[in-house]
């Protein structure tokens, strides 16, 4: 196991990962954020350098952590050899198995290999897998049309930390203190876009996570079918692209409204799927919010 700390090598790695798109997108986004201030206190673990077979991004070991916070305790994985990934998990202290955490990646063998590694270590874990369509936005070359936002309100702007409570209440994965803290950190660290009403409250928004993924795109029910979701999505994609980030996201197969929206803006549905594993030690099974 090697923890890659050298800034020069990390920028080299960033460029190397481009040749492995789209499967490397999650790790690529995490590495980009590490190379641009590292607001989420991440680090890169490899089996070897420069001829690596597996890369894992994880929270720095010295960073403060909450054992129930699987939102922040998140690992991104890209491998060239699935056996190297499983071996790294079995033999090395790469993962903190004593907390609730998640593993993300765009490769189909991730679940089976992670489960096998946990079994080899004789760990009593519940592993919950969710699989999504992976999406990439085409270049947004011009400012999205927002001429329909007439007058001073509604207005297009960005989120503030004080909006985290609303996001926590409306996110299907939210509704708990760990998520509230996580969302506040995302808003503070990464690009976001929202439409605010005449009272200044967000009615439609999109945020970016620690892997440079567009997520939690949401419009309040009373404000739907007004073009806000399209405007927010395109504006956020353009904001990410202007900073050199790939504008990528994911969507559940049964979320037809979002799928139709993505099709309408010519987003590309990638050939690989996004896989998220939430791993819960037996000791935390009654406490974790999944």
Q: Helix H segments across the chain?
A: 7-18, 25-34, 82-91, 110-120, 164-170, 177-189, 228-242, 256-264
Same domain, yes or no, for 156 and 191? yes
Token digits of residue 234: 């395109």
Residue 70 lies in a domain: yes
Let me know: does 98 contact 281? Beta carbons within 8 Å: yes
Domain assignment present for residue 289? The answer is: no
Residue 197 counted as domain residue: yes
Question: Which letter does DSSP use for residue 51 in this model?
Answer: S
- For 187, which DSSP code? H
Same-domain pairing of 125 and 168: no
pLDDT at residue 187, as a whole number: 98
Q: How many domains does the chain have?
A: 2
> CA angle, 285 as apex, 281 and 288 as ends, to 5°?
100
pLDDT at residue 290, as a whole number:
59
Instruction: Say whether both 17 and 123 belong to one domain.
Output: yes
pLDDT of residue 288: 61
- Is the domain of 10 the same as that of 126? yes
- The domain of 144 spans 139-265
Within-domain flag for 152: yes
Q: How far apart are CA 111 and CA 276, in angstroms?
A: 9
How far apart (Å, rounded) are the C-alpha atoms in residues 70 and 58?
12
Q: Is 218 helix (H, G, I), strand (E, B) or coil?
A: strand
pLDDT at 148: 80
Domain shared by 19 and 42, yes or no: yes
Clarify whether residues 111 and 91 are in a common domain: yes
Q: Is residue 198, in this structure, part of any structural domain at all?
A: yes
Whether the Cβ atoms of residue 250 and residue 25 lie closer than 8 Å to each other: no
CATH number at residue 92: 3.40.630.30
pLDDT along the chain (290 residues), means of 10: 96 98 98 97 97 97 91 97 96 93 97 96 95 95 79 89 98 94 97 95 97 96 94 96 95 95 94 97 76
Same domain for 120 and 21: yes
In a domain, 82, yes or no: yes
Burial of 64 (0-12, 13-18, 19+ CB in 10 A): exposed
46 and 145 fall within a common domain? no
Instruction: State how far the alpha carbon of 233 is from the alpha carbons of 127, 218, 258, in Å.
Output: 31, 10, 10
Could you give the C-alpha distances from 93 to 76, 96, 102, 257, in angstroms and in order?
A: 16, 7, 16, 42
**Cross-strand partners of 219:** 204
44 and 109 assigned to the same domain = yes
Does residue 232 lie within any of the structural domains?
A: yes
Contact between 287 and 126 (Cβ < 8 Å): no
Q: What is the pLDDT of residue 153?
A: 77
The predicted pLDDT at position 123 comes to 93
Identify whether residues 226 and 150 lie together within a single domain. Answer: yes
227 and 245 housed in the same domain:
yes
- The verdict on residue 113 lying in a domain is yes
- Domain check: are 59 and 16 in the same one? yes
């Amino acid at each position: 196991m090697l923890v890659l700390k050298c800034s020069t090598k990390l920028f080299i790695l960033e460029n190397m990962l481009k040749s492995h798109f789209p499967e490397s997108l999650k790790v690529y986004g995490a590495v980009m954020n590490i190379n641009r201030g590292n607001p989420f206190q991440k680090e890169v673990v490899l089996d070897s350098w420069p001829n690596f077979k597996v890369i894992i991004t994880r929270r720095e070991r010295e960073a403060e952590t909450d054992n129930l916070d699987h939102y922040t305790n998140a690992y991104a994985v890209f491998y060239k050899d699935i056996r190297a990934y499983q071996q790294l998990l079995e033999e090395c202290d790469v993962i903190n198995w004593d907390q609730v955490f998640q593993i993300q990646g765009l490769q189909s063998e991730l679940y089976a290999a992670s489960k096998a590694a946990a079994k080899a270590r004789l760990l009593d874990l519940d592993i919950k897998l969710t699989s999504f369509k992976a999406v990439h936005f085409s270049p947004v070359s011009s400012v999205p049309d927002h001429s329909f936002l007439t007058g001073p309100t509604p207005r297009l702007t960005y989120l503030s930390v004080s909006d985290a409570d609303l996001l926590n209440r409306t996110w299907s994965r939210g509704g708990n203190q760990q998520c509230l803290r996580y969302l506040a950190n995302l808003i503070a660290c990464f690009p976001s876009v929202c439409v605010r009403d005449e009272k200044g409250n967000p009615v439609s928004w999109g945020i970016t996570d620690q892997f440079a993924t567009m997520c939690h795109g949401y419009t309040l029910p009373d404000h739907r079918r007004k073009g806000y979701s399209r405007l927010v999505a395109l504006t956020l994609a353009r904001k990410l692209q202007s900073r050199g980030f790939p504008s990528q996201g994911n969507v559940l197969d049964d979320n037809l409204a979002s799928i139709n929206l993505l099709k309408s803006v010519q987003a590309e549905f990638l050939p690989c799927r996004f896989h998220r594993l939430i791993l819960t030690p037996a000791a935390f099974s009654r406490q974790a919010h999944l």
